[in-house]
Structure 1
Amino acid sequence: MEKELQEVLNELVGEESLEKFRVEYEKLIIALKKSHENEKRLMTKCRELKAEISSNSLKVEMALKLSHEDQTTILSLKKELEKAWEMQDASNEREKTYKETIKHLQHDVEHLNDLVEQSALLAASEGKSVGDLLKLKDELTAERDTLLSEVVTLRENIEITTTKQYEAEEANMKAQEKILQLQQDIQVCQNECSRETRQKEKLEKEVKQLRANIEAQHLEIKSLHAQCHRSHEEHLKMEQHLHEQKVVNERASKELELLHLRNIKLQHENEHNAISIEHLTNENHQRASELKMEKEEVSQMKHEIAKLTKIRENTQKKLRMIEGQKLEQMMDEALSNFLAQSGLSIMMLVVILIRVAASDERDRLCQLNQQQDWLGGEIETAQKHLECDKRKIDELIREKEMLTKNLIKAANATERQLDLVKLHEQTKKTLDQEILNYKDEAQKQRKIIFHLEKERDRYINEASDLTQKVLLSMEDLKVQEMEIFEYKKKIAEADTKLKQQQNLYEAVRAERNNYSKSLLDTQQEIMEMKCKMKAMSQETGQLTEEIRSKDAALVKEHQEFQRVEKEKEALKAELQKMKQQAQDAKQYMENQDREEQKLIKMISETDTEKARLKKELEQASDPSTFELIQKIHSLQRRLITKSEEVVEKELLLQAVTSELNMYETQTQEYKYEIERLAEELRNVKKKYYMQKRKEQTCREKERSLVQAEQPLIMPQRIDGPRFTGGGFSMKQGNKIAV
């Protein structure tokens, strides 16, 4: 499959238009290879982790069982301890009771002795019969004997209880030591359990991580498939884009014409807008002047209104005063006339006058209110006129601003339209050229697409076949994994066999594909291995003979070494003796030195005495001085002999030390020789064991190759490499049973 993919890529290399597709296909192939390798690696890791988890779980279970058993033993030991303590307490109580009884008995014995003495005294004093006293004495002695026997038994009981107590204490100590040991064992088991649980959690995390990686790899494969699909869709889109570009080009040409017409229309509108703007500016100036006039009129009217209000107030005051005066005069005249004509009372007249004045006052007030309302209405109308004028001014200003903005926009739009026209002309030319190029490329692309569609159908069929095969192989893998897992569970107790089988399984699985690919080469290797095995067997025979000879030499050397060791021990004993002698000699020398010092002191004293005596001799000869001189001479002779003995002993010590040094160097040389021979023996043994292992591996390989020669293994085709999944061949015929 890889060869076919490579051929397809080589076909795509020459064409520049399909360079992008070629690069994407290469990436896809690389990603598939990586994902396949990762899948293989992860599957192997998953298997290893599952096996480790199962073995660890079994270990944890065993540790938990052990801890449970230890707890039961601890509980039983605690119970035994409690019993021992209870027994000890009981023995202590018994001991106390025994001691108390002994004290009582001793007290009774003393009391009886006192009684015997008293009875003896009484017998002597009162003159009782001797027979009664003897009887009493016999009874008392019998009682004393019984008490003494009881004391002896009690003492024996005390000794027994003390021995039991000591035994109980020893048992207690042993039990406590055992409890401490068990607690330590439990602690160790708990630590192991916690370590195993941590390791288990770690392994579970790794498994989860590996599963996540596998899922990520699957997602990556899916994304690559999707990318391939997208590239195909992009190709289709390119064709659609070409078609759309043609349509767009036609539309652009039509739009160009429309824009040209629109440009002419906009120019006319622009001119018309300029004329209308001039007209509006003139109107604006007129309205502004009118507004100024109206504002002045309004201010004048406000001023006149204020004046009129003042005048009205003044006139109202004057009118009120005049009317009051007139009323008073009229009232006086009317009263006088009325009083003259009719004889009415003054009070009635006053009431009538007040009513008349009130009605007149009401009429006047109504008139004034009407005037005031009229003036307020006029003021409001004037204010409304002012507000309307203000609004009109604001509207005119806004219209002016809008017109200026529209003018600017129109100018910008015209410029843009001109630029667009130029751009469209340029794009039209380029698009015409591109359309011609696209037409040429479209013909090429149609041919390539036709070819690619054929290949795609072929690849889709192959991919579906391959996916079915992969699924079948994955199912087989899962079944095999489950079987392996069950077998590993069964063989968890025998760790050594499991490791050997795992190693064999790994070696066979690693070398399975190589053996299936090149069976003929392996047969040649078998022949070579047989020759090598013969040579190795000869070498092993030689090595065994060498080992025997070396062993014999080693035995001899060992005997020699033992002899030397014995001599060394004897020399050590002699050396110890010599050292002791040397110490004694040293002690003796020190004593001699002390004596020498004393003698020197004595000599000095004798010298002084001699000098003194000489003087005395010179004065007068005395026999005592002669004796002193003889003593001095004898002391000097003794000193000389002692110093000679010390020198001889020092020489003897030097000779002994030199001999000891010589023996030590000899023993050191013997040691080095023995170590060298032991090292040589170890090296020879290593070579022998290595040769044995090589021979064993060769036999195992030969056995596995003999098994591999069974009809289950089919040699792979040599027509090219095949895409394999999970370390297994995709073909059903190439399955290998392990």
Structure 2
Amino acid sequence: MMDMEMNADMEREEGSETGGGSNEGSSTGSMYCTLEQNFEQIRNAMKNNRALESYEHEYKRLFESLYQSHRSEDELTKKCKTLQEEVAEGMNKIFDLEKKVEIGEMNIEQLKNEIIEKKKHTDIIHVREQKAQEIIENLRISIAKLTEEINQKSKQLSTEEQLPPTQEKDGLTKENERLLGEVDALKQCLKNAANYNQEIEEKVNETEEKIKSLQETIDQQNNDMLKVQREREKTQSELDNLYEKFIIRSTELQTVDEAYKEMQNNALKQEQLLSDQVMENEKSQKELHKVTQQVMSMKKSSDNLQIKITQIEKELNDKSRLIKDLNKEMHGKQKELERLNLEKENTESKLTKERNLNMKTEENLKRNVTILKNSESEVAGLTKCIESDKKTIEKLNRFKETASKNIKEQEEIIMKLNYEIRVFEQTNRRMQTTEDEMTAAANEMRRHIKKLETDKNKCVIETQELTVKVKDCVDELKLKRLEIADYQKRLHEADNRFRQHQTVFDNIRAERNSFKKNLLLVQEEVVELKAKAKNLNLEINVLKDQLAIKEADLMKQEFLFNKLEKEKDGLKVEITNIRINMSNFREEMEKMKQEEKFLKKTLQEADLTIIKQTKEIELIMNERDIIGTQIVRRNDEISLQYNKMQILTETLAGGEKQYTQRMDEIRTLKLELKNLKLRNAALEKHTSSLNDLRDAVSHLERNLNKERLKVMALEEEVQNPLNIHRWRSLEGTDPDTFELLKKIQILQKRIVKMSTEMINKDKKIREIEKLYTNLRKVLAKQPGPEILVHLNKTRRALRDRGNKMKSLVAELNMAISTEHKFEIDKIKKELNITKAKYFAQKKKNLKPLEYIKQIPATLTVNPNKFHYSGFDVNNPTSKDSTISSTVITQ
């Protein structure tokens, strides 16, 4: 008792220190103070009365049980408050993390869009570079052809005329210098383009690093979300104690198990597909390695061929020098040496053809190298795609592990709940055994059961809401399956790309085989040229021997010339005839000179046309530059539009944030209203129970007062007995009263037991009510199905907007590409027209040159004859031949 009094004093002091706290605390404290005072009074009275000493212990136990129930109520209220605060904090954390995740997803989508745009820009720039390289290579080929034609023309003019025109040479040298300057300018443009490509690649690498860092942050945020979700699930598992919800959860677990099995099957299929792709990629890498080795061997062989060609050119130069020395020694043998020169020119033309073939082979090698680089870049892209697929599979595995963990936790929770259900059923059985004895309490319990039935109906409504949530989860599973189907489509696309790469590699192999064949043909031609060079050396040696023989014959013919001077007089008549023929030949020579002047004029006109064409080409190049600037301006305009779109998206995000904040405020206000209503209902229930207790206390006090009066009366009668003399005192006791006292004691014991049982039942009922109220509060705080529907609608709207934006961007790119293609087609058509004009003019210029080549063929003498000082060595001399030779020498 002293402990109880001390505890009561401590509670009073705590109530005074806290300043009253609330009206409930003050009312309960005052009530318990009055009860303690009454308890002390009644206890003192019982101590004074010996008859009531037997009831003192039971009365004390009743008061102690009441005091413990009060303490347990206070403790449970504190625990409920702490749990409510923890739940509120967890919900706030979840909302904050969801907002962060949404912001991170928005940033990721923006960065992905920027990467796609930059990749498209790089692809466009690569296409431009390839086209520029093709144009430059075509220009180089045309310049080489023009230089070769100019050299041929200069050689022909030098052979035909004794005095070469210096003015034309100067003009040709100037044109060559100008063309070389254009080639240098084009090289500088190529260098600038290469630098620009390097800068773009650096930017792309920086963006990829940023994406990696953002992905790491997102993974961390996802881990935090998973931790918070686990804590939330634990709190919900501790609060979910109703039997009907257990059944719903069991059905949900069955559906989740089925979905989990399907996910496992899909994951196994994807792992098999990935393993197959990895094997195929390894095979493709091995083939690429082989192709690169073959290309290196081809490069080495081409280098060896170039070295051999340079050696052949050096040998040819040495031979040309020897031929020039022989020309100086053999002024009289010009006709035969012209044949040798013609053969030399043919060999040089063949060498030029071989050089052109080598140039073509080098160009093809360069193209193959570019194709290989592109294929390597595509292979790198495929490897990146495979890595991204691996990451997605890892994420799915993580999700699978988390799902399995959640399933295990839910199974443990179900076991606990089943155990609690069994305990609850046992208590119900005990209650059914005591129902027969407690009819009055049964009526009250029936009323309470009606209330529980109303609550049951509410729970049924809540179960329907949970079924709606389950349907939403099923929809999300369907969406995830659709995402898996998209990944499978991507894998099929990657397979198609890989097959395309295989076809490209097959084409490269075919081209390699063709190049090998061309190399074999070139090697055979080189061997033939070497054989021809050996034959030329043998012929030159034979000609030297013939010259020695002919010089001996000339000495003999000089002796004969002295004899033939006597016959000169007879041949003067023939000389006059020959002079007439010579005059005719001179007239023909003048006609030939006129034709030569006409041809020179045509050459000058051709030069003018070439100058005009070069000017037109410059104009085309300027137009190309203008088009490039226009494209740059359009790209700038597109970038400005993208910036505007980003600003609009940011404003939309800000509006959505404000909307979510307002919705959160509305939710908090609704939750506060529900809490106030629940508090009001709890206070009303508490007040009703207090009235019942007060009535019971007043009834007990009345009974006590009656019993006290009876005891006082009996004591007075014992002390002052009436009719002493009339009545006789008898020995013994009254058995009826003793039995009645025993019955009273038994009944009192029963009453005490019943009161204790009632107190325990009331405690259990209060605990159940508290759990029920806490569940109602938690469910009220949790978001309803309407919010999930709204979220799904917003997500769908955002997806539709994203798809529309992607379609608009694709349409813009298509429009830009179509405009670029039309402009390129125009430029190609104009180039083809200029090429056709150029080749037509070239043919016109070549016709008079062919006519000039045909004219000296008619004037050539038989090759078997060798004229020197008017005598024929091979054939016998005649008078006519000797006269003609003397005239020619004069």
Please give the TM-score of this superposition, normalised by the length of structure 1.
Answer: 0.29
- 1 or 2 for the larger relative contact order (CA 8 Å, sep ≥6)? 1
Please give the TM-score of this superposition, normalised by the length of structure 2.
Answer: 0.24
